[in-house]
């Protein structure tokens, strides 16, 4: 018989004389459910005062062996009120955990601290590990793609080494950079791809200035705070997760095969052209060749991922260690990476729990094979009628002014490898000196280095121009961080409280590196040495050059003072004020320091008397905030200084040879300063009918004093023709929506759905003042046969970034020339006389995600649909592969049959402008949770994948393209003033993939 009490359970007791002496433990079993009777997996069950514990399985059940003595079991789970239950003997406990009455007190990380969700005044979104995207996500950003309103994450191609492009609330800058700041366990500036997604507990996105201003000059583009998993008190837990995946090409260009190519050549150029034995060779049997060049350079790409972790500890000391290894092959041969990540997190409490110390150590090593874009281009272009090799085994290639390079020869005769190492160590101490007053010290060291090694075989036609160049380059960053904070929290009675935070931050960053190259190796040395013997080349002896060896070193320092105050009254009113003063060595002598303030307020209207008890509107909170943040990330050090550098050569008669000359290479600007991003945000959080949770945010984000490299006259005041200055202004306005609800929630079946959407508008407000004028800056270069210096976009005041300014296509003339709508209303073949009009914008008007999760018994299913709408794409690739006049110069698309045969010269027009909207099944996964058995506490097997299908009208390979929009970093001064492409699809794009995944998760 079992008697249940309010705080204890009495089990039948047998006198010692009736028991066998060998019994030394009591088994206690049971089940933990929520208020509706649904089982709760993952609840921590610990024998109070010990490290003996376990966690509930998928069905909420648990089993724990305890010493033969009365005690107390403690049950805890995030989002539920902890509960304790006493026992005096073996038996069964059935526990019902109540949802935390403070459900809105979910803790979010806001920078140098945490806040309860109900007290947040800024725009902050949190994504937990269990909400991460399914499928193959080696980069943490891919794990949250589509999860946060306003956060646009784009994977522009299928290259496994390509980092996603991320923009939070639009484009904020041209030269200053638009990537957010990453903070991992309090360490600022951690490389995002050095973190294994399996190590992450939460990712908090600080979207508006009032939330991000505590990070001051580095928070202009928002802040993503990553908290990694740490140990928990209780029994030791070991987890092993593994998945294998296969990638295939999701979409290919519809190119002509050999038969189709011969037919089009005969149609366009005449049957006599087929007698060209160079382009139409035959084998020993007199048969022509039919080579699928894209098939020759691609493969099925396999991924194998292993995660192993161990954690545990006591109430005073906890630990977690993890190892992750992922090997991912690209679908293009000779591309891919292998990455090893190790992490150790330790937590120590001392001095009556007043001292808390966190130690973190992480190491990542990545071995990476980089793509060669020209190989992909040539595989698209090379003729399908050609063989891979000649009869003697050499590669089949066609030299000449219109040389055709063999893509297989290129693929098999180049190496471009990266070896990347990232080591980060951190320590965070917090000591409660007085009740409510906590002193904190946070320190970190980071070393990030990359060795790039390249080699090209000059015996291959494509690489003869660089004489078979080989090179080795080292790029290294060493970063030191020290932060000291003081925080005071006091309860004012009831639910009233306030917190004051003050701090100091010092960050020192040194970038340095060196490199060397050589070329002109004798035959056979490429195969023997690759890039491992630079001295074996003859280039340094045969041709003098000044750059066979290079080196550099840059240093920046950032010093900051910051403070934040919060006041929470009556569970209704919240106030937050933040100020940060930053000093940076990057800027001019007159503007090294800047102050970034912010203010925000919240009003929980549903806690007012006139709304309490209102079930249709069970929760309603109004938030409003304003603040300023700075941006300095996109510019390199020393931009404000007057610099000398190597410039040309002069003849030195004393040695009888030419030697390097030196001259002014950069103007000084003592007034150079931060870009300022000023942002206002108004938001509401609501719950309808105790079922539908939602958030709406409206923001106005303005970039002032925009950094840019302006043209100036070299007239004595200025020594070179450009200068970095603060002039322009850019605007981003938008609205964000997030909805979540449980459509079905029963004991056996749950269905949760979320809708996340963003609509925004970008505008370049100004690009000049009375001192500097950007002039006409053109970008989105439209290339092709017969085209030079043709651009589809311009930087223009009052217009968005990525707008297409192009002529209207009016048809083809009888002579095959493109007809354009002229400025006088007639048609013209002269592009310079055509009327340019605003044909569309590369930036989407709307982005949205539809996220669904199902649970039925031990089965679970989740998927995410994501789409963008209202954007245009200029299909430069299609324009260059549908030209009948170029049929003998390279392969073409099957669409070439739809164009008149005398069309031979491409022109920029809206003929090639297409709708870039799409809806994609981003990821999906179905899993089965195996009931606990033996040593396994939890076990789950699953099948899933990425990019199962896409719905779009776009005729290219894939409508999701590179959308960086920041300035180019190579080329001459004019080229470095141009933004990178937006909405331009051209050759050499690594094809997108479709992934299928099989995995298992084990905990024991």
CA distance 811 to 911: 9
Provide the pLDDT for residue 767: 92
Compute the half-sphere exposure of residue 599: CA atoms within 13 Å on the CB side of its CA. Answer: 0
Give the whole-number percent of the chain exceeding pLDDT 70: 97
Per-residue pLDDT for 835 more than 60?
yes
Per-residue pLDDT for 844 more than 50?
yes
Mean pLDDT of 530-543: 87
pLDDT tens-digit readout, 720-779: 988 999 998 999 999 999 999 999 998 889 999 999 999 999 999 999 988 898 889 999
Per-residue pLDDT for 628 more than 80?
yes
| Residue 510 and residue 478 in contact, taking contact as beta carbons nearer than 8 Å | yes
Across the chain, mean pLDDT equals 90
- Find the largest Cα–Cα distance for the chain: 112
CA distance 788 to 786: 7
* DSSP-assigned beta bridge partners for residue 941: 928, 1000
Provide the pLDDT for residue 495: 83
CA distance 76 to 43: 6
| Close Cβ partners of 92 (under 8 Å, ≥ 6 residues apart) | 2, 28, 29, 30
- Of 756 and 174, the structure prediction assigns the larger pLDDT to 756
* DSSP-assigned beta bridge partners for residue 187: 184
| Residue 263 and residue 221 in contact, taking contact as beta carbons nearer than 8 Å | no
Report the CATH architecture of 301-993. Answer: Beta Barrel (2.40)
The domains of the chain are located at 3-96, 248-297, 301-993
Per-residue pLDDT for 6 more than 50?
no
Provide the pLDDT for residue 133: 94
Report the CATH architecture of 3-96. Answer: Sandwich (2.60)
pTM assigned to the model? 0.87
User: Model confidence at 59, in pLDDT bands (50, 70, 90)?
Assistant: confident
Provide the pLDDT for residue 257: 97
Mean pLDDT of 432-439: 95
| Residue 208 and residue 699 in contact, taking contact as beta carbons nearer than 8 Å | yes
What is the edge-to-edge ordering of all strands in the sheet holding 872-875?
A: 913-915, 872-875, 984-985
Is residue 975 classed as helix, strand or coil in its secondary structure? Answer: helix
User: Model confidence at 933, in pLDDT bands (50, 70, 90)?
Assistant: confident
Closest by Cα among 888, 879, 885, 925 to 902: 885
| Residue 156 and residue 329 in contact, taking contact as beta carbons nearer than 8 Å | no
| Residue 376 and residue 387 in contact, taking contact as beta carbons nearer than 8 Å | no
- State which H helix or E strand residue 428 sits in: strand 414-434
Lowest mean pLDDT among 158-172, 534-548, 813-827: 534-548
Q: What are phi and psi of 945, to 5 degrees?
A: 175, -175
Provide the pLDDT for residue 18: 42
pLDDT tens-digit readout, 101-117: 544 456 777 888 888 87
Q: How many CB atoms sit inside 10 A of residue 225's CB?
A: 24
Provide the pLDDT for residue 101: 53
422-443 burial, b at 16+ Cβ within 10 Å, e below that, comes to bebbbbbebebeeeeebebebb
pLDDT tens-digit readout, 124-150: 999 999 999 999 999 999 999 999 999
């Amino acid at each position: 018989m079992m008697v249940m009490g309010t705080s204890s359970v009495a089990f039948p007791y047998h006198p010692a004389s009736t028991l066998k002496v060998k019994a030394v433990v009591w088994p206690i079993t049971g089940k933990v459910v929520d208020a509706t009777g649904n089982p709760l997996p993952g609840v921590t069950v610990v024998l109070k005062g010990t490290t003996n514990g376990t966690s509930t399985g998928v069905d909420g059940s648990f089993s724990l062996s305890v010493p033969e003595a009365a005690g107390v079991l403690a049950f805890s789970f995030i989002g539920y009120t902890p509960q304790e239950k006493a026992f005096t003997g073996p038996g069964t406990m059935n526990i019902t955990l109540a949802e935390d009455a403070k459900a809105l007190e979910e803790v979010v990380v806001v920078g140098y601290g945490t806040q309860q969700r109900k007290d947040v005044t800024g725009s902050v979104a949190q994504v937990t590990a269990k909400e991460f995207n399914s499928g193959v996500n080696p980069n943490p950003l891919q794990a949250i793609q589509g999860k946060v309103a306003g956060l646009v994450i784009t994977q522009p191609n299928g290259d496994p080494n390509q980092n996603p492009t991320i923009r939070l609330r639009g484009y904020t800058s041209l030269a200053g950079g638009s990537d957010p700041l990453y903070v991992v366990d309090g360490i600022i500036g951690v490389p995002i791809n050095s973190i294994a997604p399996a190590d992450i507990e939460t990712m908090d996105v600080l979207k508006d200035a009032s939330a991000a201003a505590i990070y001051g000059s580095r928070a202009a583009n928002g802040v993503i705070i990553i908290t990694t998993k740490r140990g928990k008190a209780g029994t030791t837990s070991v987890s092993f997760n593994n998945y294998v995946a296969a990638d295939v090409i999701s979409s290919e260009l519809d190119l002509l095969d050999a038969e189709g190519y011969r037919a089009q050549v005969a149609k366009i150029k005449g049957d006599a052209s087929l007698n060209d034995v160079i382009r139409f060779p035959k084998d020993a049997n007199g048969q022509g060749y039919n080579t699928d060049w894209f098939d020759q350079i691609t493969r099925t790409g396999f991924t194998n991922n292993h995660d192993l972790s161990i954690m545990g500890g006591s109430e005073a000391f906890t630990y977690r260690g993890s190892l992750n290894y992922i090997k991912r092959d690209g679908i293009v041969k000779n591309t891919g990476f292998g990455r090893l990540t190790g992490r150790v997190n330790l937590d120590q409490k001392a001095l009556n729990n007043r001292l808390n110390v966190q130690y973190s150590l992480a190491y990542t090593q990545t071995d990476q094979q980089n793509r060669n874009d020209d190989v992909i281009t040539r595989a698209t272009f090379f003729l399908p009628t050609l063989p891979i090799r000649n009869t003697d085994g050499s590669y089949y290639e066609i030299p000449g002014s219109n040389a055709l390079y063999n893509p297989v020869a290129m693929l098999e005769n180049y190496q471009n490898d990266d070896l990347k190492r990232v080591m980060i160590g951190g320590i965070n101490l917090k000591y409660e000196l007085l009740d409510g007053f906590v002193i904190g010290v946070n320190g970190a060291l980071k070393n990030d280095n990359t060795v790039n090694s390249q080699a090209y075989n000059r015996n291959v036609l494509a690489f003869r121009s660089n004489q078979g160049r080989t090179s080795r380059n080292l790029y290294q960053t060493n970063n030191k961080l020290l932060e000291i904070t003081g925080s005071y929290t006091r309860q004012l009675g009831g639910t009233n409280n306030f917190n004051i935070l003050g701090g100091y931050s010092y960050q020192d960053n040194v970038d340095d590196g060196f490199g060397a190259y050589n070329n002109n190796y004798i035959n056979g040395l490429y195969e023997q040495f690759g890039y491992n013997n630079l001295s074996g080349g003859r280039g340094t002896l045969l041709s003098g050059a000044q750059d066979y060896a290079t080196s550099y070193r840059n240093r920046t320092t950032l010093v900051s003072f910051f403070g934040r105050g919060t006041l929470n009254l009556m569970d209704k009113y919240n106030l937050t004020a933040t100020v940060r003063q930053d000093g940076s060595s990057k800027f001019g002598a007159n503007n090294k320091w800047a102050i970034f303030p912010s203010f925000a307020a919240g009003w929980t209207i549903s806690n007012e008397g006139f709304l309490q008890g209102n079930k249709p509107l069970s929760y309603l909170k109004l938030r409003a905030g304003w603040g300023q943040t700075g941006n300095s990330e996109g510019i390199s050090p020393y931009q404000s200084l007057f610099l000398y550098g190597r410039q040309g050569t002069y003849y030195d008669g004393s040695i009888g040879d030419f030697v390097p000359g030196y001259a002014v290479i950069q103007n000084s600007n003592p007034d150079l300063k931060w870009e300022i991003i000023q942002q206002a945000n108004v938001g509401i959080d609501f719950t309808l009918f105790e079922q539908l949770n939602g958030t709406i945010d409206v923001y106005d984000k303005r970039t002032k004093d925009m950094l840019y490299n302006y043209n100036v006259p070299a007239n004595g005041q200025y020594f070179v023709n450009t200068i970095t200055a603060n002039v322009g202004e850019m605007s981003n306005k938008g609205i964000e929506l997030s909805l979540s609800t449980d459509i079905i929630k029963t004991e056996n079946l749950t269905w949760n759905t979320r809708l996340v959407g963003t609509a925004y508008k970008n505008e370049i407000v100004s690009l000049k003042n009375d001192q500097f004028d950007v002039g006409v800056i053109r970008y989105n270069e439209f290339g092709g046969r017969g085209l030079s210096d043709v651009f589809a976009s311009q930087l223009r005041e009052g217009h968005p970034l990525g707008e297409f300014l192009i002529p209207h296509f009016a048809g083809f003339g009888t002579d095959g020339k493109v007809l354009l709508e002229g400025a006088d209303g007639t048609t013209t073949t002269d592009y310079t006389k055509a009327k340019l009009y605003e044909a569309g914008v590369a930036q989407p008007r709307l982005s949205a995600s539809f996220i669904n999760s199902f649970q039925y018994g031990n089965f679970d299913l989740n998927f995410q649909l994501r789409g963008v709408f209202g954007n245009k794409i200029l299909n430069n690739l299609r324009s260059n592969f549908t030209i009948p006049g170029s049929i003998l110069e390279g392969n073409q698309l099957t669409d070439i049959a739809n164009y008149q045969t005398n069309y031979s010269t491409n022109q920029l027009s809206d003929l090639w402008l297409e709708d870039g909207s799409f809806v994609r099944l981003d990821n999906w996964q179905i899993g089965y949770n195996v009931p606990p058995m033996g040593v396994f506490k939890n076990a789950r097997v699953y099948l899933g994948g990425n990019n199962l299908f896409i719905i779009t009208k776009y005729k290219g390979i894939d409508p999701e393209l590179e959308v960086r929009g920041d300035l180019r970093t190579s080329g001459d001064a004019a080229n470095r003033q141009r933004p990178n492409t937006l909405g331009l699809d051209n050759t050499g794009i690594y094809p997108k993939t479709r992934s299928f995944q099989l995995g298992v998760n084990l905990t024991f």
